[in-house]
Amino acid sequence: VSRLHCESESFKMDLILDVNIQIYPVDLGDKFRLVIASTLYEDGTLDDGEYNPTDDRPSRISAQISLLLSSCFSSAYVSYGGLLMRLQGDANNLHGFEVDSRVYLLMKKLAF
C-alpha cells in the first residue's frame, strides 16, 4: 500500500489517498481523474451497496478502472476498509459528505 499526496488541477483541493499499488499501480507523476459519488447509477438512483455486474442500467463504473465503497465517518475523512482518504479544500466542494453515508471512489489514470 502506498499513500498518495495529490493536488487538484481543477479545484483548490488536496488529496491524501492510500492505494494498493499491487492491484492498481500508480507512479510518481501519474495524473488521474477522481470521481466521488453516493451512487454508481448515472441517474442518481440510490443502490444497496452491492455491485451487480448483470445490472444493465447506465453506471459510472463502465468508464472507470478502480472502484472502492465505503462509509464517510467525518466531513473529509473516509476509510475504505482500512485504506484512508483525506480530501481537503474549499468547503463548497465538500458539502455533499454525510456521516455514515456510502462514498464511492472511482479513479481513472489519464494519458498525457
Please name each of the domains of the chain with its CATH number: 2-110 (2.40.50.140)
pLDDT at 20: 93
pLDDT at 62: 56
Run means of pLDDT, 10 residues per run, the chain, 112 residues: 92 90 92 86 76 71 51 60 87 74 87 76
pLDDT at 74: 35
Cα separation of the two ends of the chain = 25
Closest CA to 36 of 67, 2, 75, 79: 67
pLDDT at 21: 93
Contact yes or no for 55/75 (Cβ under 8 A): no
Distances (CA, A) of 52 to 40, 47, 104: 11, 10, 15
Residue corresponding to grid cell 462509509: 71
pLDDT at 41: 78
